[in-house]
A and B are shown apart, each in its own frame.
Chain A
Amino acid sequence: MTELSGDSNTSVPLLAVLDYGIGNLRSAQKALQKVGADARLTNDPHLVDRADGLVLPGVGAFGRCIEALEDAGLRSAAALAAAAASKAVGPPFLGICVGLQMLHEGSDESPGTPGLAVLPGEVRLLGGDIKRPQMQWNRLELPPWAPDHPMFAGLEGDSWAYFVHSYAAPIGASSVAVCQYGTEVCAAEAVGDLWACQFHPEKSGSVGLAVLANFVSLVKARQRDRRSV
């Protein structure tokens, strides 16, 4: 861990970016480092255990990601950590793209492969007369039931984010942002300290960096809470 000299109240939070052999995790790591985290790519359960926050990325097919997570021995750790974060009794947890989708019960993309089932509902193919994948920037809309979630703190005016996906989670009470693509599409979810983005914050320029910085702020706040207990 990096020691910051002269400021005993600040420590750089350790984020475990779960590395289970899927996709390019370097950009997620670099973006988290850019906003002040000690982000490490890891499949080491001990490091995952002592991290101040967890990040579950994912690209490609739902079933392949779930299998790879299992093969890496991280499936139950990820499910338990996400569930604990959702009740705010464990370190904050951030799912990205298929990392969001895997938190649900399953997906049209891979019938018969159960998801982590921390969030309710099935992930469905994007409907309507549109190209799949949605591979573009889209404007985030905050739903009336979550007009000011801390994930988007400090962002003023329209916020645009970069999406690459063909499937999406159902819109429900946990949705904290949506976008329009054929129909209304779930863009981000949050329950307690469990946050998840369908878009790629690490590829969404200044908006994405702000979202990641807000996650790092949440992690730091929980570090302080633990110390003060």
Chain B
Amino acid sequence: MRTVRVIPCLDVEDGRVVKGVNFVGLRDAGDPVELAARYDAEGADELVFLDIAASSDARGTTLDMVRRVAEEVFIPFTVGGGIRSVDDARGILRAGADKVSVNTAAVNWPALVGELANEFGSQCVVVAIDARRSSEVPTGFEVFTHGGRTPTGRNLDEWIAEVVDQGAGEILLTSMDRDGTRDGFDIEMLQKVAPVATVPLIASGGVGGLEHLVEGALEGGVDAVLAASIFHFGEYSVSTAKAHLSAAGVTVRPTI
């Protein structure tokens, strides 16, 4: 039985959640621990924290946040942003994260993926990939770094095959064309990479409504759907999203 995971993503900076989370009834909407516990209670299957500043100065506050989340939340969570070395990853994992995600650093230094997998096991290595439609590469989808600003000249499917070969345990694929548009996932892109994504694939970028989650699961064939704003602004709860997926024929862990 394949069960599709629903994963809220939280952007954090200096140990605080940013990008205007708007929940009713939270004492402190910027507190990652309180938000994580809220999503856990709603039935989130996993959480992703992206450290958007991720300067080396902020490393300490990030580690402190990870420790506090790990004390209160007993579902898997991934931490990404600014992880450039095995030592960076070790710090995050020791603080209690289950997985680390690497993006730009992996592109700049592909051996990092293999080193992380050797050191900690593939199960905790998520490779995050930002991609766009592009005429610069033969397959039409190009890998970008630095939040979608820097083209790499790499074909998306070749890059996925390479990191899987290196030991990536999971791929978090964001469409930079769709990110922030609320137009839905780039289904064509997801379908195109499915043959090379032999490890679990998380779709990200573009979710504006619950039907988009269903499209990602059924047409995109992904293992997990990630979304931010539809959950943060209280439009939909995770439990509503899962009920919608379930009614559409997608197997999800029921919310309690």
A positions within 8 Å CB-CB of B: 23-24, 26-27, 30-31, 34, 59-61, 130-131, 133, 135-139, 158, 160, 162, 164, 179-181, 200, 202-206, 208-209
Contact assessment for B96 and A139 in the assembled complex, using a CB-CB cutoff below 8 Å: no
Task: Find the B residue at minimum CB distance from A136.
Answer: B3
The 9 closest A-B pairs by CB, nearest first: A60-B121, A137-B253, A160-B253, A26-B96, A164-B123, A180-B1, A136-B3, A24-B93, A135-B200
B74→A27 contact, CB < 8 A: yes
Q: List 28 A-B contacts (CB under 8 A).
A: A23-B93, A24-B96, A24-B97, A26-B94, A26-B95, A27-B74, A27-B98, A30-B71, A30-B74, A59-B121, A59-B124, A60-B120, A131-B198, A133-B199, A136-B5, A136-B45, A136-B200, A137-B5, A138-B1, A138-B3, A162-B75, A164-B123, A200-B76, A203-B74, A203-B75, A205-B74, A206-B74, A208-B74
A56-B169 Cα distance, complex, nearest whole Å: 23
**Interface size, chain B (Cβ < 8 Å):** 31
How would you classify the secondary structure of chain B's contact residues: helix, strand, loop or mixed? Answer: loop
Cα of A158 to Cα of B251 in the assembled complex, Å = 14
| Cα–Cα, bound, A15→B200 (Å) | 34
B210, chain A: closest CB distance, angstroms: 19
Q: With A and B bound together, what is the CA distance between A82 and B76 in angstroms?
A: 28
Is the CB of B130 closer than 8 A to any CB of chain A? Answer: no
Q: How far is the CA of A23 from the CA of B123 in the complex (A)?
A: 10
* CB proximity to A under 8 Å, residues B93-129: 93-98, 120-124
In the bound assembly, the distance between CA atoms of A30 and B97 in angstroms comes to: 12
- Tell me whether B71 and A133 are in contact (CB under 8 A): no
Query: Chain B residues with Cβ under 8 A from A131's Cβ?
Result: 2, 198-200, 223
Q: Is the CB of B253 within 8 A of A24?
A: no
Q: Complex: how many Å from CA A160 to CA B93? A: 24
Q: Does B70 contact A (CB under 8 A)?
A: yes
Contact A203 B98 (CB under 8 A): yes
**Given A60-B120, A162-B76, A203-B74; A136-B2 close (CB under 8 Å):** yes
- Chain B residues within CB distance 8 Å of chain A: 1-3, 5, 40, 45, 70-71, 74-76, 93-98, 120-124, 169-170, 198-200, 223, 253-254, 256
Q: In the complex, which residue of chain A has the Cβ closest to the Cβ of B46?
A: A162
Are B123 and A135 closer than 8 Å at their CB atoms?
yes
Which chain B positions have C-beta within 8 A of A30? 70-71, 74, 96
> Within 8 Å CB of B5, what residues of A?
136-137
Chain A positions within 8 Å of B1 at CB level = 138-139, 179-181
Q: In the bound complex, do residue A136 and residue B223 qualify as a contact, i.e. CB atoms below 8 Å apart? A: yes
CA distance A30 to B94 in the complex (A): 12
Bound-complex Cα distance A26 to B73 (A): 12
The answer on a CB contact under 8 Å between B74 and A34 is: yes
Q: A200 — which chain B residues lie within 8 A by C-beta?
A: 76
> How many angstroms between the C-alpha atoms of A31 and B70 in the bound complex?
9
Judge whether A209 and B74 touch: CB under 8 Å.
yes
Q: Please indicate which of the listed interface residues A23, A164, A202, A208 has the most CB atoms of chain B within 10 Å of its own CB.
A: A164
Residue of B nearest to A202 (CB): B74
- Please measure, in the bound complex, the distance between the C-alpha atom of A180 and the C-alpha atom of B2, giving whole angstroms: 9
Could you list 15 further interchain pairs (A-B, Cβ under 8 angstroms) beyond the known A59-B121, A133-B123, A180-B1?
Answer: A24-B94, A60-B120, A131-B2, A131-B198, A133-B200, A135-B200, A136-B223, A137-B253, A160-B253, A162-B45, A164-B123, A179-B1, A205-B40, A205-B75, A208-B74
A208 / chain B contacts, CB cutoff of 8 Å: 74
- B32 CB to closest chain A CB, in angstroms? 16
Q: What are the residues of chain B within 8 A of A137 when measuring CB–CB?
A: 3, 5, 45, 253
